Amino acid sequence: MNVLITGGLGQVGSYLTEELAKEKSNTITVLDNFSSNIKDFKVPEGVIIVKGDIRNNEVANKLVTENEIIIHTAAQVSVVNSIDNPVYDAENNIMGTLTLLNAARKSNISRFLYISSAAVYGAPQYLPIDEKHPVNPMSPYGLSKLTGEKYAMMFHLLYGIPVVCLRPFNIYSPRQNPGSPYSGVITKFIKKVKNNQNPMIFGDGNQTRDFVYIGDVIEAISKTMENKKAVGEVFNIGTGKPTRIKELAEMIIKVSNKKLESEFAPSSVGDIGESYADITKIRKTLGYRPKYLLEDGLNLCLSEIGKVNKENHYV
């Protein structure tokens, strides 16, 4: 099948490109503006790379028409940057998505997968967070991802585009850049520990997050590509298990075999206390089951092994 991956050189997109290119019957096209700068990603042989902007109508119309499945991962992903420059965030995340959807309604595609974010939920009103949880974003980034979802579902209702929206929680992988403002707490802790520095925790460390390894994210996305039950639906992607930040730091220290201790600093303004996913819907509908224990994923990140190990234990 012919697959277009927007942002296919980014964190999620690069792993998708790698995985889907393994099937020789697939023709993979990547549309990317080359802003991710992932140094250890070698583009698989046969993958078509197009340098361009998702907001360009001509480029979007041509590439969407040539492909059956559109996986839209391209986005401005920094919460901080979205606060500093909300117009730029909206131009990329809202107008870019709308441009692709508009191209899709003129084409005969079999699936449009929109990679959203758990940031659409905002502060949890109850736990675990299911797909029916109220959406109240706390940043322009969260709002722009939610708006993209709304447009995608509107185009599904109006034009019959076979849309699926996915809301990943805290994705981590060996390809996250610790020096990037987009990186999560895991890569920041790993950078500290590798440099023999104590990880810095903001607050008391009792905050919880749902850390999901990239291998499980790719598996979840793959399950939505051809399953008709997924069309017109929104799914969380996570593990369904909360991890406290102080436990995360202790685990990273342990697997790195370093004699370090966590340091604590005042809480960040607006930091959410507890958050983790309810994955009942995607499990029952699509048979998704996360395979990577957090310790397994952390070992992969610490050793900088990007290859997915199929032998990991189930969680």
Element (H, E) at 156: helix 140-159
Q: What is the 3-state secondary structure (H, E, C) of 94-155?
A: HHHHHHHHHHHCCCCCCEEEEECCHHHCCCCCCCCECCCCCCCCCCHHHHHHHHHHHHHHHH
**φ/ψ bin of 7: left (φ > 0), alpha (ψ from -120 to 50), beta (otherwise):** left
Beta partners for residue 172, in sequence order: 213
Q: Are 36 and 9 in contact (CB under 8 A)?
A: yes
Active site residues: 141
Q: The tokens of 37 are what?
A: 């700068």
Residue indicated by tokens 């675990």:
128
Element (H, E) at 29: strand 27-32
Element (H, E) at 185: helix 185-194
Closest CA to 246 of 213, 200, 292, 277: 200
Element (H, E) at 254: helix 245-256
